[in-house]
Amino acid sequence: MNGQFDCFDWSACDSPGTLKKPWSPRKHFSHMRALYDCVIRANLWGMRDTHEQTIYLDATLRPHRSLDQRGFLLVMIAIGGCGFLIGFAFFLAGAWPVAGFCGLEIALVYIAFRLNFRDARRCEHLLMTDDGLHIVRTDPSGTIQHIRLEPSWVTVQMDDPPRHESQLILKSHGQGTEIGRFLQPYERVEVAKALRNAIQRYRTA
């Protein structure tokens, strides 16, 4: 399933592999390397020994964005150019307040795009090894949340076929943890299938 969706970064989903500790998620979170090295290594591995861990699932979920930074620059150049020409034409015609409104509209479009790019920083990293299922969430501000679940007690709940409001929930000991909220419904179904397969391999190992 590697590379099947833009929002997924799959690794070792179809067959178990090995991971030598301590684990460092730099390749997944390069924009916060130092912080992740400190927090994740401490939370996930602590002071355990260095024997090899079997990987049952290693996936990074990210919101899909069709416009990259280069595309954003081209769009802003086009919008800014059109806005400038329209505003300048009205300015020459004596309707100078319109030029100000054109500039305001361009600024609002820019702010909307920047907020959209900021939201795209959120991600969820799912790692299932002999040590358990680890969910590491990062919000747009860079705040990290780490959740550990015991796969033997986890049940995966997801509608199939999915509806738009369908949620992917991991239930354990009566508590529910939602993941992949920012994904499309059909993508959440794929994540649910990968989780069920990984949990099955974990239980039979």
**What is the tens place of the pLDDT at every residue in 10-63?**
433 333 443 333 344 444 334 333 333 333 443 444 434 435 788 999 998 988
Cα 77 to Cα 163: distance, rounded to the nearest angstrom:
38
pTM: 0.61
Of 101 and 14, the one with more pLDDT: 101
Helices 69-92/96-119 angle, 10° precision: 170
Amino acid at residue number 167: Q
* Residue spans of beta strands (DSSP E) within the chain: 8-11, 17-19, 53-61, 123-129, 132-138, 144-149, 155-157, 168-172, 175-179
Answer for the pair 163, 186: CB distance below 8 angstroms, yes or no: no
- pLDDT, residue 194, reads 93
